[in-house]
Amino acid sequence: MANPRPAPDNAPFDVAAVRADFPVLDQTVHDCPLAFLDNAASAQRPRQVIDAISHYYRHDHANVHRGVHTLSHRATDAYEGAREKVRAFLNAQSTREIVFTRGTTEAINLLASSLGQSIAEGDEILITHMEHHSNIVPWQLLCERTGAVLRVVPIDQAGELLVDDMLNMLNERTRLVGVVHVSNALGTINPVETIIKAAHDREIPVLLDGAQATAHMAVDVQALGCEFYALSGHKMCGPTGIGVLYGREDWLQKLPPYQGGGEMILSVSFADTVYNKLPYKFEAGTPHIAGAIGLGAAIDYLTTLGMDNIAAWESQLLDYLTARLAAVDGIQLIGTAAEKAGVQSFNIDGIHPHDLGTVLDHKGVAIRTGHHCAMPVMEFFGVAGTARASLAFYNTPAEIDQLIDALAVAQEILA
């Protein structure tokens, strides 16, 4: 297949040296070098993260906050140190605004549960047609419980939000706007500043689902001005099972707790239980201490590389990926917004995405196939699923070439 454009070769960091930090990348799959292009599902971890977790378990593990002994102090310092790293990474004003959760899904469920207690019949929650299921279903559950109404902002064929429609859908009954910052299915980077401003003009709080944003661009919650921001550690080179809900302090103060148990209380009696201060009010039970420490190490890693450098390299890779995919016979690119992060969904005439993914795996290329937990997006584009290649800063043009070569093989076998 003719190569429509030269491969980018001016990364702002040494990609080979970066790859050497990721042991998992150095392997063959079915006798081919692994080309890992499934980063939107979960990114890989550098040895710095693996080492931080291992060090913690080897030397420092104890339960946090309540111990007087040395290991408990060390574990607490490391856990709270990770919270400070998240705060700095998001530029939140205070660590009181950083609530550790299991991931984006739990962060959104936390908010839906706590905010939900003040939602009444006829109130509206406004989300968009391109949300991940984790920013749809918690709100549907809330609407079922309360009689509130879930309203959905439409998208267009490029996979962009119809922002004017969105602005018209805001009204005096809207209690929250929930928007995905970067779409996992389409790669669209949404115009969140415009959306936040319009919502704030009506004093409506905004939740951004940042699961696909925080590994790929600098995020400053104070500059954005959003009230809530959710992220997952495993999408940004950290461990699975750890994530964050950022909540502006005035909002977290007034929201009721999510789960009850240890840690989230100051005192308990059968007559009266007093909740803990922020952020512990929202962290019931023993937390995922190693997960938070691993996330802190991942943040150190990303910060050392520089989020602007990461964004710059991934943007070059995306341009190359898109140009090469667009030149494939019979391809349909899904998600062609003007502002995009390193995700490209596609289908090839006459080939089921799962079959495509299987052949690609035999050529060492890992992509995701299916509905990407965004079934309404699939429905909008009239497809059951797509193949999706998604990039990270450690990817190379050679891996994109490997994908394109593997697609040619798949077409030979399957089309």
Q: Where are the alpha helices (DSSP H) in 3-46?
A: 15-20
- Applying CB under 6 A, among 114, 188, 190, 212 the residue interacting with ligand PLP is 212
> Which residue's CB is nearer to ligand PLP, number 341 or number 410?
341
DSSP SS3 for 395? coil
**Least distance CB 216 / ligand PLP (angstroms):** 12
> What sign results for the dihedral spanned by CA atoms 72, 87, 180, 251?
positive
Residue with tokens 């990770």: 82
Amino acid at 153: V
Establish if 244 lies at the interface with ligand PLP (CB under 6 A).
no
> Which residue's CB is nearer to ligand PLP, number 11 or number 298?
298
**Contact string (CB under 6 A) for ligand PLP, positions 67-106, x = contact:** ------------------------------------xxx-
**Contact string (CB under 6 A) for ligand PLP, positions 167-206, x = contact:** -------------x---x----------------------
- Applying CB under 6 A, among 76, 114, 232, 411 the residue interacting with ligand PLP is 232
> Which residue's CB is nearer to ligand PLP, number 11 or number 242?
242
Q: Of the listed 143, 226, 237, 373, which one is catalytic?
A: 373
**Least distance CB 135 / ligand PLP (angstroms):** 6
**Least distance CB 43 / ligand PLP (angstroms):** 11
Establish if 214 lies at the interface with ligand PLP (CB under 6 A).
no
**Least distance CB 178 / ligand PLP (angstroms):** 11
Is residue 161 within 8 A of residue 177, CB to CB? The reply is: no
> Which residue's CB is nearer to ligand PLP, number 102 or number 363?
102
**Both structure tokens of 207:** 């939740």
The interface with ligand PLP within residues 102-141 (CB under 6 A) comprises: 103-105, 132, 134
E-assigned strand segments in 257-328: 265-267, 274-275
Distance CA(404)–CA(399), nearest Å, equals 9
**Backbone dihedral region for residue 25 (phi beyond 0: left; psi -120 to 50: alpha; all else: beta):** alpha
> For this structure, is 373 an active site residue?
yes
> Strand pairing partners for 406?
none
Q: Which residue, 317, 407, 415, is CA-closest to 362? A: 407
Distance CA(173)–CA(49), nearest Å, equals 45
> Which residue's CB is nearer to ligand PLP, number 132 or number 216?
132
Number of residues that bind ligand PLP (CB under 6 A): 12
Q: How many Å is the maximal CA-CA distance in the chain?
A: 75
Residues 6 or more apart from 344 whose CB is under 8 A from it?
187, 318, 321, 322, 325, 333, 335, 388, 389, 390
Distance CA(90)–CA(253), nearest Å, equals 19
Residues 6 or more apart from 168 whose CB is under 8 A from it?
none
> Which residue's CB is nearer to ligand PLP, number 76 or number 212?
212
Report the interface residues with ligand PLP, using CB under 6 A. 103-105, 132, 134, 180, 184, 209, 211-212, 232, 373
Supply the residues annotated as catalytic.
373
